[in-house]
Amino acid sequence: MSVLTVAKKDFKGARRSRTLWVAAVLLGQIAVLLGFTARGYRLTGIETVQSSFRMLTQLLAVLLPIIALAATYMAIAGEREGGGIKFLLSFPNTRRDVFVGKLLSRLGIVASGVVFMYIAAISISLAKFGVFPAGVILGTLLLTIIYGSVFVSIAIAVSAAAATRSRAIASSLTSYFVLVILYVFPLIQIKNLVRGIHTSILGMKSNPDLYNAVQYTSPFLAYRKSINLVLPDRLQQQLFRDSATNAAASTRTQAATTDLNLPVYLTDEFSLVILAFWLVIPLFAGYWAFNRADLE
């Protein structure tokens, strides 16, 4: 066996999962619903489609991580708990072959689900409006696949480090809560917590850019910011209006309502660096843990 053999075997097994098929169908239905209900006041067909795909990415920012985590968290932990890992390693496979093969399989599954959803959304848009804004559609598709891959990377690392199903589930739910839920429903504002430590405990001068930078480490926010790279100006999301530079400029010019004045580490382009970090670093950590684990 080899990396590709492990990947093919795992992909064939995972695609029979009813849960994954239900998730794919649900994503497709959401895309169809958005396409049918898409309308805009005094907007052209192209503008309306662009707006609907922007809304689609906002939904995927919340839904895709949990789907990627659910599709991946048992990839290796399930083999370890059920004893299948010994069977895999009884062939001429290394732990690296198993780790990379499982990763490729789950990346393919999640990417396939995203593409399926986009095909549904594109079909409705073409049927209803007869337009195809390629830059927005293909750009958001690529960034969404990268975003889904980030959470596959996190989940495969969690799965590789966990010896049991319960630990894999707990770690996956914790990852989703810390990296997504805290930013969707900010029960605890991360930047407010950092501000309190920075100003009250350390006694230092308030620095909004620092607090935003800490918050920007979330792949959830990085994905939302990255979407700005392929959207027209009128649809771009402004997430750091309280930036120090924007706040200072707002007294002088109306242009400060955009993110043009942000420092480089808060710009839309920097979101790609953050996504790359979350895509790569968990893999190193997960493989290191898997390579050291006692599989007996």
Within 10 angstroms of residue 248's Cβ, the number of other Cβ atoms is: 11
Side chain identity at residue 73, one-letter code: Y
CA distance readout (Å), 191 to 102, 157, 188, 209, 218:
36, 27, 9, 10, 12
Quote the DSSP letter at residue 36: H
Confidence of residue 282 (pLDDT cuts 50, 70, 90): very high
**How many angstroms separate the CA atoms of 175 and 185, rounded?**
15
Q: Is 196 helix (H, G, I), strand (E, B) or coil?
A: helix
Q: How many residues does the chain have?
A: 296
Cα-trace Rg, the chain: 21
* Predicted confidence (pLDDT) per residue in 6-60, tens digit: 888 888 877 677 777 777 788 788 888 777 776 666 778 788 888 889 999 999 9
Confidence of residue 246 (pLDDT cuts 50, 70, 90): low
Greater model confidence, 253 or 3: 3
Confidence of residue 244 (pLDDT cuts 50, 70, 90): low
Within 10 angstroms of residue 45's Cβ, the number of other Cβ atoms is: 15
The H-assigned helical ranges of the chain are: 3-14, 18-37, 45-72, 77-82, 84-90, 95-129, 134-161, 165-176, 182-184, 190-195, 208-215, 219-227, 244-249, 270-292
Confidence of residue 149 (pLDDT cuts 50, 70, 90): very high
Answer positive or negative: Cα dihedral of 110, 114, 117, 123.
negative
- Would the pLDDT of 129 be above 50? yes
pLDDT of the residue at 253: 46
- Quote the tokens at residue 82: 């059920």
